[in-house]
């Protein structure tokens, strides 16, 4: 019997692509976000500083989109679903304080 499934590798492994909003302001934020997602199950993570959109390709059998949101929040970057903690946010480099209007202005 022919299978038309193009994206599944075995029964539980399935690559999914999603675009989620993750807040940040600069190239350091990009590195931090992408490095935080260098984990088992994530095939690629690309964050765009202009649009704040993270394009992520992951294996839904190994990691969930909720866990991906949480990994961003854990390193100080709030997402459209999960807000980071004040502790993680305060640990960000000064130029990465994306909730500060002065910082946002200086990156324009
Ligand atoms: Cu930054």
Domain 15-106 has CATH 3.30.70.100: yes
Residue 25 has a CB neighbour count (10 Å cut-off) of 21
Label the pairing between strands 53-59 and 15-21: antiparallel
C-alpha 67/C-alpha 19 separation (Å) is: 14
- The predicted-structure confidence for 51-82, as pLDDT tens digits, reads as follows 999 999 999 999 999 999 999 999 999 999 99
Q: Which helix (H) or strand (E) holds 71?
A: helix 65-74
pLDDT digits (tens, 9 = 90+) for 26-45: 999 999 999 999 999 999 99
CA 6 from chain center: how many Å? 25
Distance 81 CA to ligand 1 centre (A): 20
Q: How far is CA 3 from CA 6, 10, 11, 14, 105, in A?
A: 8, 12, 12, 14, 52
Q: How far does the centroid of ligand 1 lie from the alpha carbon of residue 44, in Å? A: 20
Instruction: Note the pLDDT of residue 53.
Output: 98
Q: How far is the CA of 4 from the centre of ligand 1 (A)?
A: 43
Percent of the chain with pLDDT over 90: 84
| Band of residue 89 on the pLDDT scale cut at 50, 70, 90 | very high
**Domain locations in the chain?**
15-106
pTM: 0.87
Q: How far is the CA of 13 from the centre of ligand 1 (A)?
A: 33
């Amino acid at each position: 019997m022919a299978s038309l499934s193009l994206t599944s590798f075995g029964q539980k492994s399935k690559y999914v692509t999603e675009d989620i909003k993750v807040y940040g302001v600069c190239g350091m934020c990009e590195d931090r976000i992408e490095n935080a997602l260098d984990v088992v199950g994530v095939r690629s993570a690309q964050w765009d500083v202009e649009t704040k959109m993270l394009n992520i390709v992951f294996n839904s059998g190994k990691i969930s989109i909720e866990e991906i949101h949480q990994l961003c929040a854990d390193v100080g970057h709030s997402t459209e679903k999960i807000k980071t903690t004040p502790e993680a946010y305060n640990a960000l480099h000064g130029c990465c304080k994306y909730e500060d209007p002065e910082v946002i202005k200086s990156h324009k």
